Amino acid sequence: MAENIDDLLHQYDSSDWSVRLVRGVCAVVPFAPDVPETWSMVEMLKESDPDAKRAVLDAAQAHVQGEASQRALWMTRAMDTADTGIGVYSGLASAIKLANAAEGEKLDALETDPQQAADAVLKALAIAFVIYKLFPGGPLEKVAAFRKTDAGQAILFYYAAIEVGLPFADNALLGGGTLISSLFEKFGPEQQAKLAVVTGDEEAEQAAGVLAKLVAPLDSLAKLASSHLTPLAKAATSHMPGVLDAGDKAAGVAATGADLLPVYKFLGTRLVAEAAIRSAIEAAGDEQDRRESINPGLVPVKYTTSQADDLPDAPARKRSCLPFMVLLLAAGAGTMAGLLRLLSGVLA
């Protein structure tokens, strides 16, 4: 069954740990991307085109229901979990160790083992797969369209900073800006074969072709991030759930942190929505151009159309008990009864 994009978007807001983590990391480096305050398809469409009409929203929502968008959503979710083999290690563990290190301390943690390097390459291939599914044209056109989206820029920066910049800092600074390409040359064929197990050989090959066009910008971003290591590490750790004890954060993030920090699901959902909106806006423009070429008198006049054509208000957000569940976990059994009484009073 196809997933409802607004239901997915509604799972996040400014208070969510994943949102705070991405914003915190991006705030460290000047000119890094940010996450707009839009949490539904209609809000995102209004931001992209304030004059858009309901038909464009309907087209965008229909686009999300298609096979390509649904496969992209599946992949971004898989990147945060280990059960599909896409996501295993997290560079956040390196961030925690660096943030907790004594000043001037040399960390062996940054001399990361080959498995984390291979995992970083697999995640890059997964990002490339998503780009391949969502955007039209050849690899170069797909990457260009991806980089024009807010979510695409955030994905690139987060990946370069957290999955590569922090774990492989010394390599990024000393490697002449070719860290990503070096990793891909070493681990690419094996990880492409691993991706092919879940996508098929043809789509894995297409993803590799897209990744080849991502290497240069990712290398540049990784090197940029590596010059801000300590601020990035401290920003990342300051935006992690308090239910992860400081002494256990590194192990917890590497093992199960994705359950509380599904960053790629969050950004990937926004990317799917943006790609659908972009496609719908372009299609509406092409259709209007076609109609005007047939009859120049069909130029639309603003503010004279029926209100039925206008975009609706953003849908009401569904109330969730997740924040209360996090409080329960953090508080422990000693205060659970009191919190349950508070919860019942709030929901009454």
pTM given for the model: 0.81
Domain boundaries, the chain: 5-288, 321-348
Q: Is the dihedral of CA 321, 326, 332, 334 positive or negative?
A: negative
In whole angstroms, how far apart are CA 125 and each of 203, 261, 299? 11, 20, 44
Token readout for 260 is: 């509380």
Q: Radius of gyration (Cα) for the chain, nearest Å?
A: 22
Q: Whose CA is closest to 151, among 242, 65, 291, 270?
A: 270
The three state secondary structure string of 56-89 is HHHHHHHHHCCHHHHHHHHHHHHCCCCCCCCCCC
DSSP codes of every residue in 140-173: HHHHHHHHTSHHHHHHHHHIIIIIIITTTHHHHH
Q: Which residues of 158-172 are buried (b: 16+ CB within 10 A; e: fewer)?
A: bbbbbbbbbbbbebb
Q: Which amino acid is at 97?
A: K
> d(Cα 102, Cα 85) in Å, to the nearest integer?
34
Neighbours of 298 (CB within 10 A): 11
Q: How far apart are the first and last CA of the chain?
A: 33
pLDDT in tens for each of the 348 residues of the chain? 788 999 999 999 999 988 998 999 899 888 888 899 999 999 999 999 999 999 999 999 999 999 999 999 999 998 887 556 676 566 666 666 665 655 555 544 344 468 888 888 999 999 999 999 999 999 999 999 999 999 999 999 999 988 888 777 665 444 555 778 888 888 999 999 999 999 999 999 999 999 999 999 998 888 888 788 788 888 887 877 654 444 444 444 444 444 457 899 999 999 999 999 999 999 987 665 555 566 665 555 544 455 557 788 787 765 454 444 443 344 443 343 443 343 344 344
> d(Cα 160, Cα 197) in Å, to the nearest integer?
25
Where residue 137 falls (left for φ over 0; alpha for ψ -120 to 50; beta otherwise) is: left
> d(Cα 340, Cα 348) in Å, to the nearest integer?
12
